[in-house]
Structure 1
């Protein structure tokens, strides 16, 4: 089976560049229905995409721009938003324009249909996969899981530490890992992310009592201030009225208490800063999960995900 990846993963490979090097190579790719990638450079008023193939111009007719455009289940924004970005396609033929210049006819829809028929049915709850962030909404993060096919990571599944918006954790075009959370009766896939970021014990092992470390203030409550040490580990500091959610902080670790899944902190300093979200540290990167337990065995409360 072809190794289906998010759009943009293929474009800079040697094999892809070689296939775009000449018209002869493109003809060969057409004969073998080989999946290629290149950058879309224009979308006309009829929503046909022009693609820069290097050796010649390529055109993706509107209805070949994405699966579902022909029957209206996919909106035209799926095509318009690809301008200046990589697109996947197969070469379906060659034509000449009114000036006699040759161009290649391309289909992105065919690649997506192939991905939906050959790859997506192999994804079951617990499957870990590669994804690329495409856009961020208050309720979650949309990612490309293969050939431009989109899936959602709900905001509560991004990390154990709660965030106010997915932009606190991700940026558009970032490559991440995800795990299949569920597949509904229509084949729609929902993803999760927090299970790959480590258990309480794995994250707590990165710290020691008495250390002063970096953190991010995630919420300020009457009874204390929650400070994130890692995406899957947060601690509670004593109440303060001079700090705000979103600020960065330096915090002193008083104690780590596994049986209560608690980290007691003292805020040394809090300040405003515009640091970019850090690249996720994954404790699991491949395979299939059947069950994931966040809580230590000694903890009174069980926190787990069963796939």
Structure 2
């Protein structure tokens, strides 16, 4: 039985071009889940699935000091911002950066990029029996709204949340998790715990630093005279 001829370079090229064109099935403004596949000096590339590829501007996934917030394998929720006319490649804008596959603590992000474990500011937009909805500062209205469950509000069990919070109130919270659908789970209690832990660590380190900074006391003049008299 004759062997099938191997694909020529031209056929592979056509196949690749066709795959790129498929990415146009996405609509501008659509939210997608992607996996980072390459990080370069100029851009960061992601797999959209189905042999489709997208691209982030490097600065969109970097902290103000230039540190990249993702690595190969990182999962990112993004929004389709447009398409390259020649290749059909999707241009992406990040919405949520998830924790790295290795479980390492993510870096704190600023602006609209939301990172699990980071601290955010926002406004209360709705108060329900099961929790408080917060619109995260700088994030899009739909994808940037998170829920603080009742157990994470720091209020007594069975308390009326409307007596502790008001719509439009400025709040700060910690991002506990962001699921595959983009739902954000926040916590007021965890933010307070983090602050208390930071204060405790600072207090624990304080005496040691002071001891190093100040030499051992020789006592008062009276103490020195008393020792001299005994001699």
TM > 0.5 = no
The structure carrying a bigger helix percent of its residues is 2
**TM-score, length of structure 2 as denominator length:** 0.37
TM-score (norm 1): 0.30
Larger Cα-atom Rg: 2
